[in-house]
Amino acid sequence: MPTYEDILAIVTELIKPLAAAGRSIREDTDLVSDLEFDSLKVMNLIEQVEDRFDVSVPLNILPDIRTVRDFTVQLQAILGDN
Amino acid sequence: MAIFDKFQQLAATRRAMAESGIQSINVVMDRVVSATEAVVNGRSLILAGTNNYLGLTFHPECIEAACDATRTLGTGTTGSRVANGSYSTHVQLETELADYFRRRSVIVFSTGYVANLGMLSTLAGAGDVFVIDADCHASIYDGCRLSGAEIIRFRHNDPGDLEKRLRRLGARIENTLIVVEGIYSMLGDRAPLGDIVAVKRRYPGAFLVVDEAHSLGVLGSHGRGMAEEAGVEADVDFIIGTFSKSLGAIGGYCASDHPDLDLIRYANRPYVFTASSSPAIIASTRRALGILSAHPELRQRLWDNARRLYARLQELGYRLGPEPSPIIAVRFAQREQAYALWTALIERGVYVNLVVPPATPDGSSLLRCSASAGHTPDQIATIGNAFADLKRLFGAASA
Ligand SMILES: Cc1ncc(COP(=O)(O)O)c(C=O)c1O
């Protein structure tokens, strides 16, 4: 089971190429208001995370995700359930 | 955030459209002349974006049936079938649809949207799982959401990705519904249903739902849709569809062999708590279904028109959906290009659908054409000529 830090590192690495150049990505970075992600980018990120961890991320968690931290926490819970 | 603040982005999009002279969401047809012609602002337009695949909206027998039903049964049912009772014609339509699909039973809904909302939200609940194609229609997403079940997307038309997701579900597979469409509404591409069924067979217990909204009357040797075309009807547990496209009316249905389909009717809030279809709609739909079954040449004419228009636009160098289909999507990277061409097409007497993100699958903007059996060869040529004219005018900007 990967730790919170492991997951955070991978999520950050996957977000970077999707964000505008030079944006800093921290745990409290908001995907929509700071990085201006639209729904296509969010779905693209989710697909990459799914492949990387061999897991399916249900759409139902989307309303609970605003920041990089929220996403990491949710992923950790999904990975823990498997 | 105040209640209306969240609509500001929408307001900005609408302002940008208005500045480009775009009125696509406010087009008012002064007169509709036939299945393929209308008058807008005094200008006669060829309708090339209607989903009126078989061109039945003005079929004299459908019109006569609707008028007759209105005279004998009135203009509306004024309530739900559960509260007010069914008219015998509702039941007859369900029987005729069941016979046509060779299924045990059918439930008729007030629209296709309501059919998806009702069936999906009732079939599954908390603890169940939907695995849906990423490009599914909004009504499928909304039905899944209303159910309270878990929703997992698989990559569009990718049976390998579907399989991965089914594998990950383990024992939950028995509580899983896979949902796909026959022909996808935006790009006109078909589901690889044979391959999807092969995956489903490797995961016994999962159910398969196919929305044949755009494939009824369009695919299959009897017009029953993608499942018939792929020879896999026995593997499809629930077929959902609409009367609003090839049948030229409004309404929806679900067909299934499941012995408990009828029970679902009574647990189905979008069925129980909305008024049933008016007698005129039921009557014209029954007639249209009869015509659809008895006249396979309509399907042939539709495909001839679709292939001709697809080939012409492809030859002109437009970027299209991946395969010839009655839905022919002309794709643009920039929405401003789509706005400009949409307006210029209207000026040339051709009406198509303008579709911009987020309603499109890949962030591109679309001029979505739909062919009809009702289009004459001349009309298909005129539509092609208008696009050719724009290629000359806009050149590279139209790619
Ligand atoms: C795939 C799909 N399903 C359902 C619907 C909804 O059909 P209706 O117009 O009957 O509500 C549509 C139509 O837009 C559709 O494209």
* Token representation of residue B331: 């794709």
pLDDT tens profile A30-79: 999 999 998 889 999 999 999 999 999 999 999 989 999 999 999 999 99
Which pLDDT does position B86 carry in this prediction? 96
Separation between Cα atoms, residue B59 and residue B49, nearest integer Å: 19
Separation between Cα atoms, residue B379 and residue B351, nearest integer Å: 12
Instruction: Compare CB distances from B165 to A40, A56, A82 and report the shortest one's residue.
Output: A56
Does position B27 have pLDDT exceeding 60, yes or no?
yes
Query: Would an 8 Å CB–CB cutoff place A79 in contact with chain B?
Result: no
Residue B199 to residues B107, B158, B192, B194, Cα–Cα distance (Å): 28, 11, 11, 9
Residue B340 Cα, ligand 1 centroid: separation in angstroms? 27
| Catalytic positions of B | 185, 214, 245
Does position B5 have pLDDT exceeding 80, yes or no?
no
Q: Which pTM was predicted? A: 0.95
Q: Of ligand 1's atoms, which has the minimum distance to the CA of residue B136?
A: 1
pLDDT above 90: percentage of residues in chain B = 88
Q: What is the arithmetic mean of pLDDT over B135-140?
A: 97
- Is there a contact between B362 and A40 if contact means CB atoms under 8 Å apart? yes
Contact pairs from chain A to chain B, CB under 8 Å: 28
B199: exposed, middle or buried (Cβ count in 10 Å: 0-12, 13-18, 19+): buried
Query: Would an 8 Å CB–CB cutoff place A49 in contact with chain B?
Result: no
- Is there a contact between B168 and A58 if contact means CB atoms under 8 Å apart? no
Does position B252 have pLDDT exceeding 60, yes or no?
yes
Name the DSSP letter for residue B365.
E
- Is there a contact between A59 and B153 if contact means CB atoms under 8 Å apart? yes
Residue B321 to residues A31, B35, B140, B241, Cα–Cα distance (Å): 31, 24, 22, 22
Question: Would you call B327 helix, strand, or coil by DSSP?
Answer: strand
* Token representation of residue B319: 């970027």
Does position B1 have pLDDT exceeding 70, yes or no?
no
Residue B37 Cα, ligand 1 centroid: separation in angstroms? 22
pLDDT tens profile B159-201: 999 999 999 999 999 999 999 999 999 999 999 999 999 999 9
Q: What is the arithmetic mean of pLDDT over B34-46?
A: 95
Provide, as residue numbers in chain B, all residues whose Cβ is less than 8 Å from the Cβ of A57.
Answer: 152
Provide, as residue numbers in chain B, all residues whose Cβ is less than 8 Å from the Cβ of A55.
Answer: 168
| Contact residues of ligand 1, CB 6 A cut-off | B 111-113, 116, 137, 139, 181, 185, 211, 213-214, 242, 244, 252
Q: What is the arithmetic mean of pLDDT over B257-282?
A: 96
Short-list B67, B85, B129, CA closest to B279: B67
Helices and strands in chain B, H and E counts: 15, 14
CA B165-B169-B171 angle, 5° bins = 150
Query: Would an 8 Å CB–CB cutoff place A60 in contact with chain B?
Result: yes
- Is there a contact between B152 and A56 if contact means CB atoms under 8 Å apart? yes
- Is there a contact between B165 and A40 if contact means CB atoms under 8 Å apart? no
Distance in Å, alpha carbon of A9 to nearest chain B alpha carbon: 24
Residue B4 Cα, ligand 1 centroid: separation in angstroms? 28
Split at pLDDT 50, 70, 90, the class of B202 is very high
Which pLDDT does position B79 carry in this prediction? 96
Q: What is the arithmetic mean of pLDDT over B233-237?
A: 98
Average pLDDT, chain B: 94
The answer to whether B36 and B374 have CB atoms below 8 angstroms apart is yes
Instruction: Compare CB distances from A56 to B168, B358, B363 and report the shortest one's residue.
Output: B168
Mutate to test the interface with A, among B136, B152, B169, B186 (most CBs of A within 10 A): B152
> Considering only CA atoms, which residue is closest to atom 3 of ligand 1?
B213
How many CB atoms lie under 10 A from the CB of residue B377? Answer: 11
- Is there a contact between B357 and A38 if contact means CB atoms under 8 Å apart? yes
Separation between Cα atoms, residue B55 and residue B47, nearest integer Å: 11
Q: Spell out the SS3 assignment of B331-360.
A: EECCHHHHHHHHHHHHHCCEECEEECCCCC
- Enumerate domains of chain A plus CATH numbers: 4-81 (1.10.1200.10)
